[in-house]
Amino acid sequence: MKPIAIFRHSPSEGAGYFAEFLNQHTIPWEMIRIDEGDTVPRNARDFSGLVFMGGPMSVNDDLPWILFVLPLIRDAFAHDVPMLGHCLGGQLITKALGGVVSKNPVKELGWGKVDVADNPAAREWFGDFRSFDSFHWHGETFSLPPGAVHLLSSAHCPNQAYAIGKHLALQCHVEMTESMISEWCEVGADELAANAGSPAVQSAATMQAQMSDKLPELHRVAAQLYRHWLHGLSH
């Protein structure tokens, strides 16, 4: 089986629970560290799937690596190589496939409820889940590119996830672990302080206090999504 390529765009935003899930299922993967200057592959068919993680930058920023990632995404789409995007990763898939990434009305930082759409595709991806508390850390949002089916929404961001066939784009973060949340609270301390008082923003203390209660269910949701995504891989 060809490895799954996981793209890391920031040192603090690695594969998290997704890597744990792949290791549990003995599925090969390799990390492409964009933040360390790794070369962006040109041929999506060198991998069984492409997974794009989060990052503090915008897909609309003038960053040289974005000019290589967008054609790679379009190559994967053209050749039916499954893609999975988390937050920034979902926004990259969106931009590459003809959608728009723009500022969300408010930043979502911390735990928040998301609702699963009532359509056949959403039931395929999310199984019996109808709503759950996800983790959020974003200030932008994506539109649905042509052919996409809406899967998930929240009170502060209508487009939290969509699917196009075997491809899945997420705005929220289902890949979180305790160590990632703690690190983000440290790295993002200034951002949290600047947005304190917003109804969509939690304090670092609240985020971390809720981890033990909310992470187990989030991992169950993530496992459901990741299992469904794996069905589309070429073996």
Residue whose C-alpha is closest to residue 132's, from 17, 219, 229, 209: 219
Can you give the CATH number for the domain in which 26 is found?
3.40.50.880
Residue 193 lies in a domain: yes
pLDDT digits (tens, 9 = 90+) for 172-224: 999 999 999 999 999 999 999 999 989 999 999 999 999 999 999 999 999 99
Residue 128 lies in a domain: yes
User: Which pLDDT score, from 0 to 100, does residue 235 have?
Assistant: 56
Residue 43 lies in a domain: yes
Amino acid at the residue 182: S
* Res 234 pLDDT > 80: no
Residue 42 lies in a domain: yes
Using the 8-state DSSP alphabet, how is residue 101 labeled?
A: E
For residue 176, report the phi and psi dihedrals to the nearest 5 degrees.
-70, 150
Residue 210 lies in a domain: yes
b vs e for 141-155, b when ≥16 Cβ sit within 10 Å of the residue's Cβ?
bbebbeebbbbbbbe
For residue 22, report the phi and psi dihedrals to the nearest 5 degrees.
-65, -40
Structure-token pair, residue 217? 């269910």
Quickly tell me which residue has 């699917």 as its tokens: 163
b vs e for 100-111, b when ≥16 Cβ sit within 10 Å of the residue's Cβ?
ebeebeebbbbb
Query: Is the model's pTM score more than 0.85?
Result: yes
Quickly tell me which residue has 């793209």 as its tokens: 7
Residue 235 lies in a domain: no
Number of domains in the chain: 1
Which domain does 125 fall in, by range? 4-230
Residue 187 lies in a domain: yes
